Amino acid sequence: MNIEPLLRSIVAVRATVPEDAFTADALGTRREGSGVVIRGDGLVLTIGYLITEAEEVWLADQDGRVVPAHALAYDQESGFGLVQALAPLGLPAIALGDASRAKIGDPVVLADGVGRSVRARIVTKQEFAGYWEYLLDEAIFTAPAHPS
């Protein structure tokens, strides 16, 4: 399967948070991470802490094109956030999958939103308690990760 077209739908997410924001001391005022386009109109799924209390959000594609965005939602229970691009991204949406179907030994690709990726394999799936207060029922662990 050629995954290159799918990788283009992973974008960099950059957010600026006010100095006096509740989360500024713990998470910083300039945050960067990645997200994935999940709808053709530029809706992006990301990790919520990137956009918590953000006053500015920007999305960048692998070609370096930057578009403004708006933080739409942060779901405390799952830890995910939604961002809406305020200009056309011109990127295809990736359909959400079913992680319960992933098996130990399956190949995976980890991507960063600026064009880099590594191939890995699932080595286990198990409960994981994150220090940041999330309990994942079936976290996916991968190894080894090598640049592709």
pTM as predicted: 0.88
List, for residues 50-104, the tens digit of each pLDDT value. Answer: 999 999 999 999 999 999 999 999 998 888 999 999 999 999 999 888 989 999 9
Q: How many domains does the chain have?
A: 2
List, for residues 97-117, the tens digit of each pLDDT value. Answer: 898 999 999 999 888 877 788
15 shares its domain with 72: yes
60 shares its domain with 127: no
pLDDT at 131: 74
71 shares its domain with 109: no
pLDDT at 130: 79
pLDDT band at 1 (very low <50, low <70, confident <90, very high): low
Give the domain extent around 132: 99-147
| Within-domain flag for 25 | yes
Helix ranges restricted to H, 8-70: 24-27
8 shares its domain with 81: yes
67 shares its domain with 106: no
Torsion angle in degrees (nearest 10) through CA of 91, 95, 101, 102: 10
